[in-house]
Structure formats: C-alpha cells, structure tokens
A = this chain, B = another copy of it.
Amino acid sequence: MADAIFDSRVEASAARDVTDLILQDILAGALMPGTWLKQVDLERRYNCTRPDVRRALDRLAQKRLVEHVPNRGYHVYEPDGRRAREVSEIRVILETAVAGTIVQNASADDVRALRKLAKHFDEATLNGTMLELYEANLAFHRQLLMLGGNIELVDLVTEIRQRTSSAPVSQWRTRARVEQSGREHHMMIDAIEHRDGTLFAELTRQHILQK
C-alpha cells in the first residue's frame, strides 16, 4: 500500500545523490505530474534515510520541480503552459545569442564530436528509455553550447531546461517529433560546418520552439 505508486524497485547505492535519482524519475516520466511524493515511499524506493529524502525534496522545491504544501507534503508540479513558453523563449534568446561565436569557434574535431553525440541521440530514439533519450539530447546541446565559450551559460541553460521538463510527454509528444529532432541536430551541425551563423541561429530557434 505504501509502495503503491512505485512498481519497479531499483537497488540504489546510498552514496549517489538521491536528488538526482528523483529528478531523473520525474524527467523520465516515472513520477507523473501531480503525484504526491510521500517521504516513507521515497525512503524505501531509493534505499536512503529520512533526512536524505527531505534534503532532496527541499532542493527540488527550490528548483521549482516539486511544490511544497505545508503539512501536506510535496507533489510534482503540473505542467504550466505559460511557463513552458517563457522558458523556451529564454532558451531561444540565450542559444541564438552565442550562435555566431559557436560557428566561428567550431573546429573539425568539434564537429566530429557533435556528430557522434547526435548519433547517440538517434540510437536512443530507436532503442532507449525516455531518460537515455533525454540525457543524449542534453549531452548534444551542452557540447554545442560549450563552443560558445561561456561556461556559466552552459550551466544556466542546462538548469532552466529542467524547469519545464515536468511534462516530458508534452515535450516529445510523438515518435515522429523525436525523429524530427534528430534530423534537426544534423542540420544544425551542417550549418556549423558551412560556417553559416544566420542559418544555424534560425535552425536553433526552430528546434527549441519545435515548429
């Protein structure tokens, strides 16, 4: 009864941070929006202590991935259309702003590295979990932004990405859309190879807004 919302137990080492584990489960869709995260359940599922759980929940609440209701507990945020739109807008601003620098800085090695990560994403599309797909996508975009030369910006975009990912379903609604994303990655790399900053920026914009 207590484990009702968890069907698959994972043998997790207490060493690895609980916050990341819960985060991953939210991103992967294992913990649906609206779900109440009961402390006893989390304690058992991630094989950790009560303070560990509470620290993790507090961190996730700070990141606004879960909401804390006093004396009621923590629950996964419902997807917020406005917020998702605004975060996308911010991503467009930040990622297109460094598009020029990226195109300038990218060496042949960088392009090869990007190609490899894009392929990883494609493979995850075929036979991978939702989480693997998410992480492959993240790795590609991080590597891309890294060429912008602003490390803080890389971390910032990585961070705000998580803010709307409480709705992984609405993000990648269909398999067709995911495959389209994969193709867009390669188109973006092509634009970098041809040193076409304007095209790369426009592709980035469309890729984020998914139009």
| Residues in chain A within 8 A of chain B (CB atoms) | 55, 58-59, 62, 82-83, 86-87, 89-90, 93-94, 97, 150-153, 156, 160, 163
Contacts and interface: CB of A to CB of B under 8 A. Distances in A.
A156 B58 contact: no
A89 B150 contact: yes
B59 A150 contact: no
A58 B60 CA distance: 12
Nearest to A160: B156
Please state the number of chain copies in the assembly: 2
Contacts of A163: 152
A86 B160 contact: no
Contacts of A55: 55, 58
B94 A90 contact: yes
Contacts of A89: 150, 153
A173 to B, nearest CB: 22
Given A97-B97, A156-B160, A160-B156, A150 B58 contact: no
A17 to B, nearest CB: 12
A94 B94 CA distance: 7
Contacts of A59: 58-59, 62
- Cβ-closest 3 pairs across A and B: A86-B152, A93-B97, A86-B150
B58 A90 contact: no
Contacts of A58: 55, 58-59
A94 B63 CA distance: 20
A150 B62 contact: no
Contacts of A86: 150-153
Contacts of A151: 82, 86
A147 to B, nearest CB: 14
A160 B90 CA distance: 14
A153 B94 CA distance: 11
Contact of A93 (B62, B82, B87, B94): B94
